[in-house]
Structure 1
């Protein structure tokens, strides 16, 4: 299990938000934390700790300059997501991203758009694409959600789905959207599902707030599911020591 750090950008600032609160109206959100530090500050920290595979997420418009600054700080050290399409994916890779992370471009109108997925892979190659399968539970299953986690698709996270999509990408990133940013504990049922079903590396996000939560994910995920943590970390105003998480996952 690896620790994959994050840099979430909202209106050009490093923030932590309650994921399900993000709306289209004025790109507003319930903010847990806004940093006084630049994106480059966090990139340098992650680089010093050799935390490859972390991700920069652009939450809405107004984040291009901040994202470019972050990517410039560590060539091919971090992944980037937020508004990625086949038309702009190579721009982000050329800026220094190791991978691009995609959701809404591939999951459109409530289903998988394989035409867009194939266009994307033709540009990035399988080895530089991460599919964001962020999801919410409904009727005992996990459905992929898009449009800032507001819209349910008809795609269920299952072994069949993960095997199918794994042929197009290098990794999965999965936010448990219902618990993201709440610091109320991880969704261990989802973690177990990912560990049992994903044939490629997968990073889980959502609800991790203590070292006990880290160990619970390690156990539920049989050490096969990587983790990312946001609002709970002390570097983002939370109570959980960033340094202790780095050490726990080494």
Structure 2
């Protein structure tokens, strides 16, 4: 089975942006128009993350989600501002196939347990944002990289799996938007402690990076942002999607 290749798109004020290390952002365009382009390119799946919802202590913007889901020909996952089962239920009822849970899981795993029990494990993705320390370990962060969490990576992975996630989305804050390759060590650390499928994100700059995340990191799927929305050394905004990335896998 070919690994999935998933554009990960960031929502801010109902527009698309691309960040660098969870900081400075570049405006990309209209999310619904981006969905139409990705439809034409026969993308495997899409992930949308509202990067301000949790930091602003608000729930998901259901209006834009209805527009996105209504336009998309492919499965859509969404994260941002989901803190209760009711939040997740509203997102799924808007037409989104999977909810991505990050910050809420550090307070309580109940929302994951409830979504998994009602909709199945395939409907919930546990997300991890991590940053590498000088000593080589990885610290975890919530609220779009703002709050450091005092839990070990392996312990948090185990807790997410026990709660019922169907996939684990692991994102490198250090590599985000830099296009210099994934943090393969981070991916391996997660993939080595669980049989649950791992989606790697953060750092892809070439198709080779995507392949290495699977072959060397142990990821089951790869997600990326910059590689799908920028083109050329000057990073002109151009939504694209390379095909046949894994012809020999």
CA RMSD between the two structures: 2.7
CA distance in structure 2 between the aligned counterparts of 1:55 and 1:244, rounded to whole angstroms: 14
State the partner residue of 1:245: 242
Q: TM-score, normalised by structure 1?
A: 0.80
Q: Distance in 1 between matches of 2:19 and 2:109?
A: 31
* 8 A Cα contact 1:173 1:203, kept in partner: yes
Counterpart selection for 1:114 from 109, 113, 131: 109
User: Aligned residue pairs: how many?
Assistant: 233
- 1:35 aligned onto 2:28: yes
State the match for 1:72 in structure 2: 70
Secondary structure at 1:5's aligned position in 2? strand
Matched, 1:45 2:47: no
Contact 1:3 1:245 (8 Å CA) reproduced: no
Q: Structure 1 regions of 5+ residues with no counterpart?
A: 22-29
Aligned residue in 1 for 2:94: 95
Please report how far the alpha carbon of residue 242 of structure 1 lies from its aligned counterpart in structure 2 after TM superposition.
Answer: 6.7
Q: Superposed, which structure 2 residues align to 1:45-64 within 5 Å?
A: 45-61=37-53, 64=62
CA contact (8 A) 1:162 1:199 kept: no
Partner-residue secondary structure (3-state), 1:133: strand
Q: Equivalent residue of 2:64, what SS?
A: helix
2:166 corresponds to which residue?
A: 170
In structure 2, the partner of 1:6 is: 8
Is 2:124 the partner of 1:126? no
- TM-score by length of structure 2 reads 0.81
User: Which range moves more in the overlay, 99-108 or 213-222?
Assistant: 213-222
Deviations 1:51-79 (A, max 9, x none): 33321111214954333311221277110
Please state how far the C-alpha of 1:91 moved relative to its aligned partner. Answer: 0.8
